[in-house]
Structure 1
Amino acid sequence: MKRSTFIKHTGLIAAGLALTKNITASPAQTTNKLPKWKGFNLLDFFSPKPADDKLFTQEEHFKWMHDWGFDFVRIPIAYPSYLTFDRSRNIMPEEIYHINDAAVDKIDSLVAMAHKYNMHVSLNLHRAPGYCINAGFYEPYNLWKDDAAQQAFYFHWNMWAKRYKNVSSQKISFDLVNEPSMREDMNDQHSKSSAVPGDIYRKVAKAAAEAIRKENPNHLVIADGNNVGNSVITEITDLDIAQSCRGYNPGLISHYKAPWANKDPEHMPEPKWPGQVGDKYLSREMLEKYYQPWVDLTKSGVGVHCGECGCWNKTPHDVFLAWFSDVLDILSSNKIGFAVWNFIGDFGVLDSKRTDVDYVDWYGHQLDKKFLDLMMKA
């Protein structure tokens, strides 16, 4: 879809754009500066490989989300998916600027479909130049250490901001980089990692936000929590940037037997909620302690949303639902919205491939009705 067609389709050119501060819900309703958006991550452009001609997410999927009461989708994007370069070898630094307009048009098409069904869209660089929480694509430099990577990062965000220059912040936001951490080797999934030093995170987030707001000063910018999305970024609370937490704590529940998150997935202790799991006692109290800094952040005037949450399909279903019920109750009671990873697939309400669920047929898909009901009530 061409840019002109996209704009016409969405009908979102506005003579007066909604200010970012107008995102705020009424004081009587919440102290959170962001709305309590509820929805899903859509993985059409999650892979570094270019997307197929046919989008995985179909229009009927948006209709189902809308009819079930959801109003938010996060689109995690791997920047190589919309570049042109020789994929038979590792990418060269200069090729990170080779935008493929046809590939970007496909992302526009997905955004347009979401807007047709009144979804707020959060565009996220899941793989940014020089950083991704996942390995599998060779990065030629380090986002947190190399100026060349940072300049490419700002370039990409300016490109996206320019494409959506005239789209209201009620409809679109820009989530800078997924789950930042300072990993020793950007190309080793399990290399030692720690939080990004606060001054470095501030420098990169501030410059990226400026690159975005150069096109529209009212664009809504979101930064994922430090240390793989877990920690509030105290160093940027003065920058008018919202923050995104995670709903994966503890990983013993959410990522039970997940090979990308555990070095020895087959020997993990069986999950319980609540209960003793290995050397830890898992309980709602630990969740409340984990989310308290995020709740405090909303009270300080910084918007908070939970950009990813959920549970891989190896966790027993009853344990998953008991744990996730507490997660959603804590988030919802503090007016913090959420987006499950994903809609269709291993974490999703459809076709999760769990072996212990009494599925309901939903237009040829397998619907986890208990999971859906839990989300709808939040």
Structure 2
Amino acid sequence: MERRSFIKNTGLLTIGAGIAGTTAFAAELPANKLPNWRGFNLLDFFSPKPSATGRKTTEDHFRWMRDWGFDFVRIPIAYPYYLAFDHNKQITPEEVYKIDEARVEEIEKLVAMAHRYNIHVSLNLHRAPGYCINAGFHEPYNLWKDEEALKAFCYHWSFWAKRFKHVSEKKISFDLLNEPAMREDMNDQHSRITAVPGQVYRKVAQAAATAIRTENPSRLIIADGNNVGTSVIPEIIDLDIAQSCRGYYPGKISHYKAPWANKDPENLPEPKWPGQVGNEYLGREMLEKHYQPWIDLVKKGVGVHCGECGCWNKTPHAVFLAWFGDVLDILQSNKIGFGLWEFSGDFGVLNSRRADVEYEDWYGQKLDRKLLTLLQRTH
């Protein structure tokens, strides 16, 4: 669709801002409207630069996922990956609309590969026009403040809605935007972050959902929680949009020594679970309190899934497994599925490069068998 026709037809020129113990009570909860998907994030298209992508997902990977009992992958995409422009220069607002067909076909091939193994795909814009939780690519505008960014955001989702128009909602869903937050400087990784004002989030989510459902009324749509995926979004409960939480709380465990999440990563207290870490006691009770709003959201009839979870490889492995076992138990006791970040890589079940793990050789890959066993206990 030509850009001006798209804007006119979807009405974006005038759209306004209208737009106690967890486990013990799990049996009393209503069914989660979302399936209890369990699986992984795949980072094939995570980088804005196609030349910077790492190892690719293969048929073997999907076969292993299926054989290990998993049925879900989330594919976080940086929108510049599938655009035709000079990736060595800053993108212009006009170039945000220049789709590269060859790159789109790469994404379609990965989706089709997942479907051959009966794995549901959640297609996610990890970087969208005007927003990403990660810096490293200069955004030309701000999704939460600029109408041009919102128009481009909806254009991209309309595009994907058309590309997968004839694929069943049982096979693919759309996760609108990774970990929304209001960042003071969109291009500064460590600038101050706050929650997106509720009505602003509603405006953006409703506009994108309208763009998608204009092409495909039955498409399942998911919105990541506010404030970097951590908070329920009450302002969109009535919009027939599911919501996605995160399994990274507390960050003292999940992102220990991570340089993108800590200004001084080398001077942090040693993580323990359970135990005293710095001035805070970390234990299961804090997790139950943290996830209660998401459990309550399920009670209100909203589908909930944990789109990302896991732990970077600097946290001691025994601490990671003890903490993650509690996270998974709380989620699964309430029929909330999950997607581990990632399948293969520093957070993954394969090739995580931990210094304190005795890896099992798995067809040339380094398998963290203890983590895999923990994940499989949720089946």
TM-score by length of 1: 0.91
- Residue equivalent to 1:308: 308
- Residue equivalent to 1:317: 317
Q: Is the CA contact (8 Å cut-off) linking 1:51 and 1:81 kept in structure 2?
A: no
- Residue equivalent to 2:171: 171
CA distance in 1, matches of 2:165, 2:53: 26
**Post-superposition offset of 1:240:** 0.1
Listed one character per residue, the Cα deviations across residues 24-82 of structure 1 (whole Å, up to 9, x for unaligned) are xxx99952100110000000000001268997000010000000000000000000000
1:65-80, aligned counterparts within 5 Å? 65-80=65-80
3-state DSSP of counterpart to 1:126 = strand
CA distance in 2, matches of 1:264, 1:116: 44
3-state DSSP of counterpart to 1:265 = coil
Amino acid paired to 2:121: V
CA distance in 1, matches of 2:353, 2:55: 21
Could you tell me which runs of 5 or more consecutive residues in structure 2 were left unpaired when the two chains were aligned: 1-26
- Residue equivalent to 1:214: 214
CA distance in 2, matches of 1:325, 1:55: 28
Amino acid paired to 2:198: G
The reply on whether 1:98 has 2:113 as its aligned counterpart is no
Q: Is the CA contact (8 Å cut-off) linking 2:246 and 2:306 kept in structure 1?
A: yes
Q: Is the CA contact (8 Å cut-off) linking 2:30 and 2:299 kept in structure 1?
A: no
Amino acid paired to 1:333: S
- Residue equivalent to 1:145: 145
Between stretches 86-95 and 344-353, larger displacement belongs to 86-95
- Residue equivalent to 1:375: 375
- Residue equivalent to 2:110: 110
Q: Is the CA contact (8 Å cut-off) linking 1:72 and 1:121 kept in structure 2?
A: yes
CA gap 1:53/1:106 in 2 versus in 1, 3 angstroms: farther
- Residue equivalent to 1:261: 261
Task: Give the percent of matched residue pairs that are identical in Structure 1 and Structure 2.
Answer: 73
3-state DSSP of counterpart to 1:123 = strand
CA distance in 2, matches of 1:292, 1:53: 37
CA distance in 2, matches of 1:321, 1:55: 25
**Post-superposition offset of 1:197:** 0.2
Q: Is the CA contact (8 Å cut-off) linking 1:30 and 1:335 kept in structure 2?
A: no
- Residue equivalent to 2:158: 158
- Residue equivalent to 2:203: 203
The reply on whether 1:240 has 2:240 as its aligned counterpart is yes
- Structure 1 stretches of 4+ with a deviation exceeding 2 A read 27-30, 51-55
Q: Is the CA contact (8 Å cut-off) linking 1:45 and 1:51 kept in structure 2?
A: no
- Residue equivalent to 1:284: 284
3-state DSSP of counterpart to 1:144 = coil
Q: Is the CA contact (8 Å cut-off) linking 1:350 and 1:368 kept in structure 2?
A: yes
Amino acid paired to 1:90: Q
CA gap 1:64/1:298 in 2 versus in 1, 3 angstroms: same
CA distance in 2, matches of 1:366, 1:28: 41
3-state DSSP of counterpart to 1:228 = helix
3-state DSSP of counterpart to 1:308 = strand
Amino acid paired to 2:201: Y
TM-score by length of 2: 0.91
Amino acid paired to 2:329: D
Could you tell me which runs of 5 or more consecutive residues in structure 1 were left unpaired when the two chains were aligned: 1-26
**Post-superposition offset of 1:88:** 2.6
- Residue equivalent to 2:19: none
**Post-superposition offset of 1:87:** 2.1
**Post-superposition offset of 1:358:** 1.4
Listed one character per residue, the Cα deviations across residues 119-151 of structure 1 (whole Å, up to 9, x for unaligned) are 000000000000000000000000000000000
Between stretches 30-39 and 215-224, larger displacement belongs to 30-39
Listed one character per residue, the Cα deviations across residues 177-226 of structure 1 (whole Å, up to 9, x for unaligned) are 00000000000000001000000000000010010011110000000000
